[in-house]
Amino acid sequence: MRPEQAHSPKRESGDERRAAVAEAARAIIIEKGLEGLRTRDIAERVGINIATLHYHVPTKEALVALVAESLRDDFKAQALRHPKAGLNGADQLRQEFNEFREIVAEMPELIGVLSELVDRARRDKSIADIILPMQAYWTEQFATVYRLGIADGSFRNTIDPAAAAVITTAALYDCWRPHRRDQLDGVFAELERAFSNPSHASQG
């Protein structure tokens, strides 16, 4: 979001409105789910009239898609935060875990929004087209790390990178949930053991 212009009475631009709408909708989804998402509640939370909301985001469907896009964009920004060049597979995996820990710490409740959108993606192709590529991208990041680790010897060479990546992202996603959050570090450690190269370890 664009920095606020100091005390400007100027109307917000269309993009700013839509960003505010997306943010308000996310907050409400966290509280009430997609099930409880109401256009009037969003308008109220942004501080605009219901007709203004419809002016900027014409339908409720468009609104949910806007939320999905805002989420995708946040994750994209997060993915670019830390470069990984020069690290071996095992170190990159650890870095991915550290980054994930940051996400969980910064956005503890976003799992709620993401999860609701994943559910909707099953039923609504327009949401699937936003959410599934994002998930696939995340999973592919791990597959790449595992391939690198196999090549550099830090992971066992029996790994199926694609399957290992699914296992990893699934476990991380599950540990984002409130009732599993205290198991995050234990799961990180176990994943590292699961994929590390035993002969590498015995050499080290």
Residue 17 interacting with DNA (CB under 7 A):
yes
Residue 173 interacting with its own copies (CB under 8 A):
yes
Stretch that binds its own copies, among 16-24, 78-86, 88-96, 170-178 (CB under 8 A): 170-178
Residue 52 interacting with DNA (CB under 7 A):
yes
- Contact status, residue 132 vs residue 121, Cβ threshold 8 Å: yes
Residue 123 interacting with DNA (CB under 7 A):
no
Cβ neighbours around 134 below 10 Å, total: 21
Residue 48 interacting with DNA (CB under 7 A):
yes
Please compute Rg for the chain using Cα positions: 20
SS3 196: strand
- Contact status, residue 42 vs residue 26, Cβ threshold 8 Å: no
Q: Which residues of 139-163 are buried (b: 16+ CB within 10 A; e: fewer)?
A: bebbbebbbbbbebebbbeebebee
Of 56 and 72, CB closest to DNA:
56
The nearest distance, CB 111 to its own copies, in angstroms, is 8
Residue 171 interacting with its own copies (CB under 8 A):
yes
Two tokens at 159? 């790994």
d(CA 149, CA 92): 9
Residue 189 interacting with its own copies (CB under 8 A):
yes
Interface residue with DNA among 50, 87, 128, 194 (CB under 7 A) is 50
Beta bridge partners of 155: 196
Choosing among its own copies, DNA, none, which partner's interface includes residue 108 (Cβ < 5 to 8 Å by kind)?
none
Residue 10 interacting with DNA (CB under 7 A):
yes
Of 82 and 122, CB closest to its own copies:
122
Give the binding site for DNA (CB under 7 A). Answer: 9-14, 17, 37-40, 48-52, 54-56, 58-61
